[in-house]
Structure 1
Amino acid sequence: MFIIWQGWGVLSIIIPLICMIPFAGLFGGFGLGIGLLVGAAVNAFVGHKLNNQPGKTYIDPATGGEVVFRKKNTLFFVPMQYVSVLWALIAIFALLNVH
């Protein structure tokens, strides 16, 4: 399996997994879902901060047009903060299926 990311997009996998570790085994099975929700929130915050940095603006001398270059932080071509929605949905599904 291949994992495709740009910039710090790989953190979209690492952050939720690390946030699940402290909650594992807590709350009678609810810990992993809660940890994943926390990880999704942290990932959304980090992704928002990384993807909203100011870029470099270049001006074409011939046309006077501006081009802004920004670094992308994506996982499978999806910005980090939007990957958090997927993690939150998985967490909700996990919380609803705890027996």
Structure 2
Amino acid sequence: MIIWSGWGMVSALIGGAALVISVLLDPALARLGVPTPTGVVLVWLAAAFANWTLGIRLNGRPGRELIDPRTGERVVLRARHTLFWIPMQYYSVLMLLLGALAAFAALMAHGPGRAV
């Protein structure tokens, strides 16, 4: 079960799209002579940037201020955009870690001292 509020599900869609694009792009770049982890890292960097920008923009909107007529207390209502109760922009950190993990795994697969 996936739990989200507002546009938080877009974080999962961005991550899924980045995964598919990196799987398709990496072999194509390898045929052109581009080192293996380059495409994957660039895709995850772009996904993290897009997710962070969208999350900050959506979650940074001002709330609607209401005053309870009975108590006179001020209440601010804000739309929250979360995935599993975490604001969507913080999933960008996970995307950056996935890019770093892909680069590290590619470097370790070729062994120390070998060209990538």
Question: What secondary structure does 1:97 align onto?
Answer: helix
Question: What secondary structure does 2:54 align onto?
Answer: helix
- Aligned equivalent of 1:61: 69
1:32-86, Cα deviation, whole Å (9 max, x unpaired)? 2220121011100000000011111110123322111111111111001111111
Structure with greater Cα Rg: 2
- Aligned equivalent of 1:77: 85
Percent sequence identity is: 40
Note if contact 1:17-1:36 (Cα within 8 Å) is conserved in structure 2.
no
The CA RMSD over aligned residues, in Å, is: 1.8
- Which TM-score applies when normalising by structure 1? 0.86
2:41 is aligned with 1:40: no
Question: What secondary structure does 1:82 align onto?
Answer: helix
2:97 is aligned with 1:89: yes
Amino acid at match of 1:29: T
- Aligned equivalent of 1:29: 36
Structure 2: segments with no counterpart, 5+ residues = 110-116
Aligned residues: 98
Note if contact 1:56-1:68 (Cα within 8 Å) is conserved in structure 2.
yes
- Aligned equivalent of 2:7: 8
Which has the larger share of helix? 2
- Which TM-score applies when normalising by structure 2? 0.74
